[in-house]
Amino acid sequence: MIGLQRIQVAGQPFVLLPEREYERLCSRAAETVPLNDDDLPPLPKPDKHGNFPALEYARISLARDIIRDRRVAGLTQRELAKLAGTRQETISRIESGRYTASVRLIDKIDRVLRIAIAKRKGN
């Protein structure tokens, strides 16, 4: 539980909290900044016939979806890993598109993200 204190200054409500908690919240807020495509792993380019490398495209597409959902949920890679029962390094490798995770792990990650997003939205 966050140790905070509510005060009023010149009729305006304020909340005081420990500096350490303030720093943690700032750090999390920086991680949840809306993404643009420059922040995501780039999708592979098609070959001269317009075909995409299927496995690489699937990995990167999944990585981009997980990154977006994790940020919307307000989770760090470490927090997502803990909730999904895996290591932060595994989440990092999935998000970079360098690793093909099992269907079971992707299902766990998806479930965790859906729950976290619903909680964040108050559902």
pLDDT at res. 96: 94
pLDDT at res. 31: 55
Confidence of residue 84 (pLDDT cuts 50, 70, 90): very high
What backbone phi and psi angles, to 5 degrees, belong to 103? -60, -40
**pLDDT by residue (tens digit) across 17-63?**
888 887 777 666 655 555 566 789 999 999 999 999 999 999 999 99
CATH homologous superfamily of 34-120: lambda repressor-like DNA-binding domains (1.10.260.40)
* pTM assigned to the model: 0.69
CATH 1.10.260.40 residue ranges for the chain: 34-120
- Beta-carbon count within 10 A of 97 CB: 21
Cβ atoms 108, 61 nearer than 8 A: no
